[in-house]
Amino acid sequence: MSASRLLARIRAWLSPVASGDGRAVQSPSPSPSPPREPFPNYFVYAYCDPWPHKQEMLRILSEHGLEVEERAYAVQAWIDGRAFAFEVYGGDIGEPEAEASDYDLQRLSDHTMQVSAALAAAGVRHRLEILDDGGETLVGCFHHRMPHSPDDPPEGECAD
């Protein structure tokens, strides 16, 4: 066998996909990966006075029709496949903190409004603030009997 013929056979053999007759065929292009969501631009900061106990928070959210999940130190409400969490539940750890963020302000506002409605229906005095990614600008607020931020009254007033 000549060197050129041997080289052609080796190339055909090393080809990633070959037809049954030894001809190379084009392999299908890999499927594109799903698009990634942008980083969140908006975050929720929460105040409750007083904070409901963990089991009470689970009950409040689930009775309002939200899908809830209990974690070791958190309560999560799942809305449209996204978590709205109250974390750091654990007695001596400190007051819980909200963990909800999104790049879509309207969607985060809708989710925050649902959680606020659940808390208000249970009579929990609260304030859920939506802040921009720098945490400096109040872009939305939902509350029940807490129109001013406890951190800096009366500056951070939101509409009733």
pLDDT digits (tens, 9 = 90+) for 78-115: 999 999 999 988 767 778 989 999 999 999 999 999 99
Range of the domain at 15: 1-32
Q: In terms of domains, do 77 and 14 share one?
A: no
In the chain, the amino acid numbered 82 is R
Please indicate, yes or no, whether residues 128 and 72 belong to a single structural domain of this protein: yes
Domain identity same for 14 and 73: no
Q: In what order do the strands lie in the sheet with 97-99?
A: 67-71, 74-79, 82-87, 97-99
> In this structure, is residue 160 part of a structural domain?
no
What is the total count of domains within the chain?
Answer: 2
Q: What stretch of H or E contains 144?
A: strand 138-144
pTM: 0.72
pLDDT (tens digit per residue) in 11-58 = 665 555 544 555 555 555 556 767 787 888 999 999 999 999 999 999
Enumerate the H helices of 74-121 as residue ranges. 105-121
Closest CA to 99 of 61, 138, 46, 51: 46
